[in-house]
Structure 1
Amino acid sequence: MADNPASAGFLLYSLACLTVLRRNAVRPIALKKWFVLVWLCAVSAAHALDVQRWRTADGAQVLLVERRELPMVDVAVLFQGAGSAADPEGKDNTASAAASMLLLGNREWDEEQISEKINDLGANMSGGATTEYALFGFRSLSKPEVLTAAGEVFKRSLAAPRYDAKVLQRVKDRAALSLQQSESYPGFLADRALTRLNYPDHPYGKAARQTVAKIQAVQTDDLHRFHRSHYARNNAVVAVVGDIGREDAARLADGILAVLPARAAQDGSIAPVRVKGGQFKHIPFPHNQQALIHIGLPVLKADDPDYFAMLVGNYILGGGGFDSRLMKVLRDRHGYTYGAGSTLSAKRQAGPFEIAFATERKNGRAALAAAQQVLRDFVANGPDVDELTQAKAYITGSFPLRFDTNGKLIANLIAAAYYNRPDDWFDTYNQKINALTAADIKRAWQKHIRPEQMNVVVVGGEKAGEF
């Protein structure tokens, strides 16, 4: 079970809890009692979630799940429209730098002083940006004076980040180096090329069009301008999980948000995706003995009625590991690859569906044709009864593992709020999965997937056109 991501995450969270408790000189807990507490965390996730949800006067969403097993509180704050999709033209990595530096210094305290304060409290803070939003959080003991002090450091950084020029240069140099190093990996080149084909002129493709020069072009004024435009109360989502009640959680959330402007200057909306399919891109990579093949297209919005049918279908096609069709055909039947899979990402606008695998160069064309045929067959015929039964059992059976730590739970709460999920989203999730029929999945995949329109990227070979 060591390779199970959910189990590994649960273990890491348990160790993090123990670290925070030790930092704050909490009386040592007997080993047996500690494991009982850990077990209670996992068991609580198996029951229906009691999600308390409300909006502030300025329109911010707040979500709370009380978990009293451990004396800890996790808080997350999301800002809609503050992700890389909002990067100014010619200023790559602005959103990422603004987010990653926000907790590294504020108007009153520099990076070292903030680090000392957080360490003295035994708390943790983190932040970053995705394509669509920026997300920040902190974890603290629920002891009122500790939680209040940690929240104070957190909210002052949200309100008035310092954006020190020396820290920015360090962040830019690290981002530039990361980009240069990544360009030596065929997997990165394939991902970037497919994203460029899928989103050639759309904000979702901005991160795939980064250059070192554009990263280095970002200045502190750009970060302050971005912060003023994208961080406000009306585009915020706050999630709180842990040893805290509704009244205290509301007070905590209101205090964090009160230091921000009422409204963001940018509305954070994202334009629809204009899908362009049927494209092929070959990138020579002489040093790689294999051909890396990625197939994909923008497909699914998070609020699409076919969300669950597409989700289950993707598990059967390529998301289910050794049980998936792609693995059974490409690996087991033909021996083309050690592993093949598919992913499906739902976003505010059409998120990408992708098939990826590596194979020997000599098998490249045959393996690509086989993968395309698997996709065509699945879209044409849908899943069989055994595939659907197994997929339902796995997805519904593993669903509680999405909440077995505060960290996982708070991520799911944030996603539910951001994508405007209904209040009963978690309670009815498995019901919606179990209600699906093979015909439902077939209909949804025929509606959303056009196999002949998939964009294809191949990385490998000595020269262009060799594939």
Structure 2
Amino acid sequence: MNTIKKIAAGAGFICASGLFYLNPAMAAIPVQHWTQASGAQVYLVPSPGIPMLDVQIDFDAGSRRDPAAQAGLAGLTANMASQGVRAAGSEPALDENALGEAWADLGASLSSSASADRMSFSLRTLTYPDLLGKATALAARQLGEPAFDDALWQRERQRVAAQLKEANTRPAAVAGRAFAAAVYGTHPYGYQLTEATLSRIGVADMRGMYGRLVLPCRATVSLVGAVDRAQADALVARLLSRLPGTACTPLPSLPPVAPLAQASDQHIAFDAAQAQVLIGQPGYPRADPDFFALLVGNNILGGGGFGSRLTSEVREKRGLSYSVYSAFGPGLHAGAFTIGLQTRPDQAAQAIQVAKDVLARFVADGPTAVELQAAKDNLEGGFALRIDSNRKLLDNVANIAWNHLPLDYLDHWPQQIEKVTRADIQAAFQRILQPEKMATVVVGENK
């Protein structure tokens, strides 16, 4: 075993745990922010307790930037960006296997993904000098020179097509597709990869999207680990050094998600032991000033597990479902508000009615004082678990960076929860939700 492999293997337990050294109950979380000459936005939390570093690089290149006829392009582009690098100068090309072996030799990793809003690259590496430089250089190659190999894409296209066909055999996937279309309509948040859009996507389209959107001036970079500001600044510059230095022009703005004009019901026949039920509407963007009131309120309604009102009414009192939940999905636009449950097909109509009644009462009357205190205790008591590892803390720092939140956002998170009142929740839910205009999707109901 070579020296690098020995170091990486010996420190493997550190990478697995990634514990953040700072006790959140004892001190503030020191988020630093600056802008590089390229325009890249950098956010850093030094964590010198263990020799490792987690980095997330975000670009406004999520599926909301997909052309409608090529829905799924962002996700497929992100996936192919991890499948090899092209030759550059004296450096040979690395196919997907060689690239994987190179990362394994370093005991590090670089993954890529796309959500509705972002295309993200996540680097994890040890910070020993003979490892960090090599990992940074390899990550810079992968970011700046993805192969987008056509032969590999043809194979991947077949695999993705098979996955789409398989998804059509699962009632939950069928329900999710129908629900997204009902809630978002023609907004890009509702775009979905299909066999038809897949057939229109080629490597030229991936290269075009990547070259237009994945630029240093569009990068938001979050770091948590054993580096100081000077090291982080140099590292970020090197990570982005192989991307085109093209000047950024403003990206076109996208319309807001339109509210639903009326209620809708879809009942999709499906031979399944359980009916899949989704009820909802557009919710709110992350920038909404009532974020904390909506967070606490949803914990009471259906996001707090067995202590939630939906669980009490649908599961505990009536035995209509093993689990039932509610959730908001805020993003740059209004993500969906969703109530979800599974139930016996012959009980679907009753379960839906109970869930809708619970929602309507909650929107009209808000929570009780007992429910509010229980939700605050739950959220505040679990706050430490949100930041108890480098990876979790990085997720929170990236959230601060992407949503332009105050640098001390995490320091005041428990106090923001404590400030929420019953009146705040009632007013926020009445402003955001219209129970009488929601979309309902049922897959597998007995009719």
The separation in 2 between residues aligned to 1:27 and 1:226, in whole angstroms, is 37
| Paired amino acid for 2:235 | L
d(CA) in 2 for partners of 1:229 and 1:27?
39
| Cα distance in structure 2, aligned partners of 1:221 and 1:40 | 41
2:319 maps to a residue whose letter is G
* 1:159-218, Cα deviation, whole Å (9 max, x unpaired): 1211001221232222222221111111111111111001110000112xx221321331
Task: Give the conservation status (yes or no) of the 8 Å contact 2:223–2:394.
Answer: yes
Match of 2:50 among 70, 73, 83: 70
Q: Which runs of 5+ in 1 are unaligned?
A: 1-20
1:189 to 174, 177, 188: 174
Alignment partner, residue 204 of structure 2: 221
1 CA distance for matches of 2:195 and 2:173?
Answer: 16
1:121 aligns with 2:106: yes
For the 8 Å contact 2:140–2:239, the answer to whether it is kept is yes
Question: Which 10-residue stretch deviates more, 120-129 or 268-277?
Answer: 268-277
2:90 maps to what in 1?
none
TM-align CA RMSD? 2.3
1:248-287, aligned counterparts within 5 Å?
A: 248-260=231-243, 261-264=245-248, 267=251, 269-276=253-260, 277-285=262-270, 287=271
1:243 is aligned to 226
SS at match of 2:70: coil
**Does 2:359 correspond to 1:375?**
yes
- Identify which of 16, 24, 29 aligns with 2:6: 24
Within 2, Cα distance between the matches of 1:396 and 1:309? 14
Mapped to 2, the partners of 1:278 and 1:133 lie a distance apart of 30
Structure 2 CA distance for partners of 1:409 and 1:452, relative to 1, 3 Å: same
Q: What is the CA distance between 1:27 and its match in structure 2?
A: 9.0
Contact residue 231 and residue 264 of structure 1 kept, 8 A: no
CA offsets 1:4-39 (integer angstroms, 9 cap, x no match): xxxxxxxxxxxxxxxxx994336958x9xx89x969
Kindly indicate whether residue 65 of structure 2 is the aligned counterpart of residue 86 of structure 1.
Answer: yes
Q: 2:327 aligns with which of 343, 346, 353?
A: 343
Equivalent position amino acid for 1:217 in 2: R
Q: How many angstroms apart in 1 are the aligned matches of 2:7 and 2:159?
A: 36
- In structure 1, the residue matched to 2:195 is 212
Paired position in structure 1 for 2:143: 158
> Unaligned stretches of 5+ in structure 2?
88-92
Equivalent residue number for residue 434 of structure 2: 450
- Cα deviation 1:120-159 (Å, max 9, x = unaligned): 2121111111111100021111012311111111112211
- CA deviations over 1:265-287 (Å, ceiling 9, x no partner): 661643211122411111111x2
Q: 1:343 to 1:421 in 2, by over 3 A?
A: same
Is the Cα–Cα contact under 8 Å of residues 233 and 263 in structure 1 kept in the other structure?
Answer: no
Given the superposition, is the C-alpha separation of residues 362 and 116 from structure 1 closer, same or farther in structure 2, using an over 3 Å criterion?
closer
- Rounded Cα–Cα distance in structure 2 between residues aligned with 1:49 and 1:86: 33
1:392 aligned partner:
376
Q: Is the 8 A contact 2:112 2:122 kept in 1?
A: yes
Aligned residue in 1 for 2:31: 51
- Shift in Å at residue 67 of structure 1? 1.1
